[in-house]
Amino acid sequence: MDSEPKIAVFPGTFDPLTNGHVDVIDRGRRLFDRLIVAVGENPDKAPLFAADERVSMIRELVRDWPNVVVEAFAGLTVDYVRSRRAVAILRGIRSTIDLPHELQQAYTNRTLSGIETVFILTTEEHSLISSSMIKQVAGMGGDVSQMAPALVVARLRERLKSAPAKPRLPVSDD
């Protein structure tokens, strides 16, 4: 019998963390002995929150789940996953729109490292939520309290309140 704990890594930028992410973390922690939420940087994105802020928020939200660990990482996901002796990468699938990209990533990761990817389908209520959408709606003054944890919503409001105002386009009377 294998006595090694089954460890999975749930990587992402989590900028900001959504209720969909929390759902995947909650369900993933039940499947594995240990789940590492790995907060990474995406060079193609300009984050609203620094990595240490995202790690801090997520740690606060998962503090009652003893088998969930939150860490920041840089570099290739597969290198990080190997360094943590994980058996799988955990990913959430929101819709069929996510599928081609997620499959390509999973095949690439398995080719590079032999590490499997485990997919969890998000619940229907979270299937259309994304971090980008939350930032856009919140940035325009909309209510995102149904899309993200209360802690994240509060920090978003603080951050957006202190951000420099973006110029608005004039509205035509036509």
Among candidate residues 29, 54, 126, 131, the one labeled active-site is 131
Element containing residue 12 per DSSP (H, E): strand 7-12
Q: Is 94 a catalytic residue?
A: yes
Among candidate residues 21, 29, 54, 135, the one labeled active-site is 21
Q: Cα(148)–Cα(19) distance, rounded to whole angstroms?
A: 5
129 neighbors 100 (Cβ within 8 angstroms):
no
Among candidate residues 45, 63, 85, 157, the one labeled active-site is 45
Q: Is 21 a catalytic residue?
A: yes
φ/ψ (deg, to 5) at 59: -60, -40
Among candidate residues 54, 94, 135, 155, the one labeled active-site is 94
Element containing residue 54 per DSSP (H, E): helix 51-61
Collapse the DSSP code of 79 into the 3-class scheme (helix H, G, I; strand E, B; otherwise coil) and give the result: helix
Q: Is 101 a catalytic residue?
A: no
Reported as half-sphere exposure (CB side, CA atoms, 13 A), residue 75 has a value of 7
Reported as half-sphere exposure (CB side, CA atoms, 13 A), residue 104 has a value of 5
Which residues lie below 8 Å from residue 125, measured CB to CB, with a gap of 6+?
19
Give the residue numbers annotated as catalytic, written as ranges.
21, 45, 94, 131
